[in-house]
Amino acid sequence: MGAAHSASAEVRELEGKTGFSSDQIEQLHRRFKQLSGDQPTIRKENFNNVPDLELNPIRSKIVRAFFDNRNLRKGPTGLADEINFEDFLTIMSYFRPIDTTMGEEQVELSRKEKLRFLFHMYDSDSDGRITLEEYRNVVEELLSGNPHIEKESARSIADGAMMEAASVCVGQMEPDQVYEGITFEDFLKVGTRYRWGQGNNRGSPGSVVAEESAEGQLVRNSSSRGLGEAGATCPL
Amino acid sequence: MGLQMFMTLSPWNWLLLLTALECSEASSDLKESATSTAQHVPNAWFAAASSEPDERISVFELDYDYVQIPYEVTLWILLASLAKIGFHVYHRLPGLMPESCLLILVGVLVGGIIFGTDHKSPPVMDSSIYFLYLLPPIVLESGYFMPTRPFFENFGSILWWAGLGALVNAFGIGLCLYLICQVKAFGLGDVNLLQNLLFGSLISSVDPMAVLAVFQEARVNEQLYMMIFGEALLNDGISVVLYNILIAFIKMHTFEDIEAVDILAGCARFVVVGVGGVLFGIVFGFISAFITRFTHNVSAIEPLIVFMFSYLSYLAAETLYLSGILAITACAVTMKKYVEENVSQKSYTTIKYFMKMLSSVSETLIFIFMGVSTVGKNHEWNWAFICFTLVFCQIWRAISVFALFYVSNQFRTFPFSIKDQCIIFYSGVRGAGTFSLAFLLPLSLFPRKKLFVTATLVVIYFTTFIQGITIGPLVRYLDVKKTNKKESINEELHIRLMDHLKAGIEDVCGHWGHYQVRDKFKKFDHRYLRKILIRKNLPKSSIVSLYKKLEMKQAIEMVETGILSSTAFSVPHVAQRIQRIKRLSPEDVESMRDILTRNLYQVRQRTLSYNKYNLKPQTSEKQAKEILIRRQNTLRESMRKGHSLPWGKPAGTKNIRYLSFPYSNPPSAGRDARAAESTDDDSSDPGVLSLKFSTHSRVASLQKRRQTQEVIPMRRLHRGGKAFNFGYQRNASQEEDVGAGRRVALRPKPLFHTVDEEYESGGESEEESSAVGSRWTADHGHSREHHKSHSPLLRRK
């Protein structure tokens, strides 16, 4: 890796890996260089250069997600110290728009990937479960933008959410079991539980996509708007 | 059949009708006698009053003229309201047909009677009355109750469809009808292009509110719903602007004089009128939001501020020939967000109800008036014109739907399916607005006004009755994608997180996209607008407000369990044994899951809860009442049993742990007060307050324990689920006996028998049961709780 990304063979390889078009890769590469200050890799500090990110309440979580080995597909736990352009693209490719040419399975897969990315943001200790502590942590951070909201209420919101999540998944657990945290499967279910509950008249696999939760929908929306046009209009 | 039903169901309407007729008869008698006094010898005491003023005081006088207008208006409104009541007395009727159908039928009935008895109909409708009094409430209401977020998420599509769709329809229908008018055989040669265009503009304004009710019931997907809602919201504005401009054209020129400049000016005017109206509305919205910031001491006038400023925005925009409709819509949308947070709970409720009331009154009036004016001699029937109008309305709607959505689908991640488009096409129901515009055509400019009115009526009748009644079955038949929006805390949180994440990613890749716009606005909002417009120290965000709602629910649940526990465990040996419970049988699990999936959170549908005619019963009110009732029951219970703590058992307080009122620490005193106030507002009864305070104390006592536990044991959730279930049964407007039936059905399940036996065998100390903290980590510590969680069900009769 390194600065020699302009080589077309390499670009094509990246295209294959990430699904971006070469235009988009060009754009993102320029952005990458801008962020890294012409270095081959980006470190956490480089993200301080993004002024708009500063106001984002979950800023640290977002930055962290870039270095998360799980998202980089490099390992089950841990954080990378620095990421190169390919890693950067890998992260970005989570937010790639879905293509109309994609089959249902691919769409579903891409949606799951996005949700997994979100899940990893919650699950900071990489144990595959969102524990109450982690949930609280996220909610607190999420609400930190509003100074009037105290930690206490953030916590109880997380508690409530946790309880709700547990109650959604309750049917499959033994009574004397302890609900330790939201696994990814639960995570999917909590968002999309009505698919199971009410979508009984639409049993086709297509309905899974059709009745997906709001967040799934947003994932796709954003990605199409965010990066879909990036090639054309990105003011780098 | 509907008519018959109506007649049997609401004798009151008949009574009222008679009253109304009596009165108008009296009034005409009065007029006659007044005019005839000069010629005839007066023979009643009318004469005493009218012709001999200087005589002595008569004992009984009748001065109907003095009160005539308000009197008749009042009677009209009453008639309309009674019609509505009659409509809803019979439960199945609203499912069969839209309310507007019934109102029109009542109108026709009244019209028939008026016509048959040769009376003049009361003057409810004329141009200024319609535009100044009847229209603003309708628009204000739909603007105010617009679900903001999904609206702006689909903003582009809505604007594209509602704006361009109205234009395409108006011009398409107008031009095609003009072509028809050129055919000599139809005898329409004197209807010129402008008149046709004007007719096109008014006939293209759809009013799909009736359809929304169907959608809500069928739970169609959110995008579709928002499309129709957006159309309903913006369509009126656009049609009226177009209508006014065309009227201006017709007034200014004869057809030949119009030059290209004028047309350009007209287009520019269209834009200016629209945009200007919106800007006006936004400014007024901010002003009123700002003012409500200072009203906390005079909360009685808070609703007034809201209404007056909305109305003012309408009037001010109209003064400048801007679109008042768009102004009032924008005003409502702008201020809603801030006003809701500023005003007290009571004022907020007042605002909501008053708004619904006003709009429903004016719409009802228009519909009934439409029915009245159906019967009579002011019609001109021209088969060609009317049939072609009907046909073109459908054709152009189809064209515009399929063409416009074809284009906008290119830009959407979630395209509208053909089914969706069919539904949108079919939802082109014309309504009150169309009729009013047609009815208000100035006769001097439109010699064939009667023809237009007749054609409009036919279109309205066709769409309202045929399409309005069949769209429900059609939606079900086509099996349109169901809603994907369900409210839950988890989802809300995920959506938030996702939003921020997306904005962050867009920041990182340097792209200024859609989500950044929202993000930017939110930041701006947080930094400046909210500081200026909202009273300080109000912690609000939609998560928090959602949470509040849940909390409310939880409180009920708590009280409920409080009662149950106080009845269940009032026997001296309150000892429960921490004992392992037998495994749940698959059937039990199944039934529980069933209950959970069916009943969880169904009460709270935020987005799709719009109903044109009714506010759904306010949950918090009901809940407050519920709490009160429960509370009283508990007190009575404890008095009898000699209990000091109504829900003093740990079972009652368990829930607080998680969804508790987080007000126990000193710094939150301000919020505490606020929360107390709002609870108080919900039902100004001390019972609620005392509930709150006792909650506090419980929470405080649990503060320490709560620090330790990090895991949620399953069985509490069972109970949570069950209580939600009950909450649902209460809140949904089901018959109570249905709920009772379910409970009875639940009771004999083997699971609960098991529980019962184990309960008897229990022998642990009270201490143990209240040592909550220890239980969280212990593996088997939950069975007792589980036990408790089901025993209420057992005891429940």
Torsion of CA B762, B766, B771, B775, to 10 degrees: 0
Identify all chain B residues contacting A34, using CB atoms and an 8 Å cutoff.
510
Contact B489 A157 (CB under 8 A): yes
Question: Could you give the 3-state DSSP secondary structure of residue B233?
Answer: helix
B743: phi > 0 → left, psi -120 to 50 → alpha, else beta; which? alpha
User: What residues does A130 pair with on adjacent strands?
Assistant: A182
CATH dotted code for A12-99: 1.10.238.10
CB-based contact A199 B482, cutoff 8 Å? yes
Please give the structure tokens belonging to residue A97.
């728009």
Residues of A in contact with B503 (CB under 8 A): 56
Q: pLDDT tens across B308-349, in order?
A: 999 999 999 989 888 888 899 999 988 888 887 788 878 888
CB contact under 8 A, B544 and A149: yes
Q: Which range has highest mean pLDDT (B2-11, B117-126, B245-254, B600-609)?
A: B245-254
C-beta atoms of A236 and B510 within 8 A: yes
Residue B356 pLDDT exceeds 80: yes
Mean pLDDT across the stretch B675-679? 41
Determine which of B152, B499, B511 to mutate to test the interface with A (most A C-beta atoms within 10 Å): B511
Contacts of B506 in chain A (CB under 8 A): 222, 226
pLDDT in tens, B410-445: 887 677 888 888 888 988 888 888 888 888 888 888
Contact between A170 and B526 using a beta-carbon 8 Å cutoff: no
Facing A139 at nearest CB: one of B493, B508, B659: B493
Q: Does a structural domain hold residue B106?
A: no
Residues of chain B above pLDDT 70, percent: 55
Count of CB atoms within 10 A of residue B118's CB? 7
Are the C-beta atoms of residues B124 and B371 closer than 8 Å to each other?
no
Any B CB within 8 A of A25 CB: no
Q: Do A193 and B660 touch (CB under 8 A)?
A: no
Query: What local confidence, expressed as pLDDT, does residue B330 receive?
Result: 92
Greater confidence, B365 or B507?
B365
* Higher-scoring residue by pLDDT: B790, B536: B536
Chain A residues close to B508, C-beta within 8 Å: 31, 35, 47, 50, 53, 62, 66
B679 to chain A, minimum CA–CA distance in Å?
17
* Beta-carbon separation of A234 and B509 below 8 A: yes
CA dist list (Å): B264 to B196, B258, B260: 19, 11, 6
Dist. CA A81–CA A88, nearest whole Å: 13
In this structure, is residue B459 part of a structural domain? yes
Q: How far is CA B309 from the centre of its chain?
A: 21
B441-478, pLDDT tens digit by residue? 888 888 888 888 899 999 999 988 888 888 888 888 88
Distance CA B789, CA B402 (A): 55
Residue B3 neighbours by CB under 8 Å, 6+ apart: B105, B109
Model pLDDT, residue B602: 26
pLDDT of residue B26: 46
Closest CB to A160: pick one of B510, B583, B659.
B659
Amino acid at B537: N
Q: Is residue B680 part of a domain?
A: no
Residues of B in contact with A57 (CB under 8 A): 500
Q: What is the CATH number of the domain that holds B419?
A: 1.20.1530.20
Query: CA B665, B666, B670, B674 torsion: positive or negative?
Result: positive
CA quadruple A109, A112, A116, A117: dihedral, nearest 10:
80
Res B307: pLDDT: 92
The count of domains in chain B is 1
Domain assignment of residue B438, given as a range: 127-362+389-478
Mean pLDDT of the B679-690 span: 40
Residue B29's pLDDT is 45
| 8 Å CB contact between A123 and A129 | yes
Estimate to the nearest angstrom the gap between the alpha carbon of A115 and the chain centroid. Answer: 6
Q: Does A145 touch chain B (CB under 8 A)?
A: yes
User: At B398, is the pLDDT very low, low, confident or very high (cuts 50, 70, 90)?
Assistant: very high
Buried b (16+ CB within 10 A) or exposed e, B197-229: bbbbbbbbbbbbbbbbbbbbebbbbbbbbbbbb
Summary mean pLDDT of chain B: 67
Q: Residue B401: which pLDDT band, with cuts at 50, 70 and 90?
A: very high
SS3 B37: coil
How many Å apart are CA B759 and CA B754, to the nearest integer?
Answer: 8
Is B225 a residue whose pLDDT tops 60? yes
pLDDT of amino acid B291? 87
What residues in B contact A53, CB-CB < 8 Å?
504, 507-508
User: What are the backbone dihedrals phi and psi of residue B191, each rounded to the nearest 5 degrees, phi first?
Assistant: -90, 115
Fold classification of A123-195 (topology level): Recoverin; domain 1 (1.10.238)
- Strand B712-713 and strand A178-179: pairing? antiparallel
- The predicted-structure confidence for B180-217, as pLDDT tens digits, reads as follows 888 887 777 777 888 888 899 988 888 877 677 777 77
pLDDT 10s digit of each residue in chain A, 236 long?
444 444 577 777 777 777 777 777 887 888 788 777 788 888 888 777 676 677 677 778 888 888 888 888 777 777 888 888 888 888 888 877 666 666 777 777 877 888 888 888 888 887 888 888 888 888 787 777 666 666 776 777 777 777 777 777 765 555 566 677 778 877 777 765 333 322 222 222 322 222 233 333 333 333 333 333 333 333 32
Interface with B, mutate which of A49, A102, A170, A195 (most B CBs under 10 A) = A170
For the segment B278-288, the average pLDDT, to the nearest whole number, is 91
Give the pLDDT score at A140.
80
For chain A, give every domain's residue range.
12-99, 123-195
Structure tokens at B142: 């739909």
Between A170 and B301, residue with greater pLDDT: B301
Whether B240 maps to a domain, the answer reads: yes
Res. B650: pLDDT tops 50:
no
Give Cβ neighbours of residue B611 (< 8 Å, ≥ 6 apart): B212, B213, B216
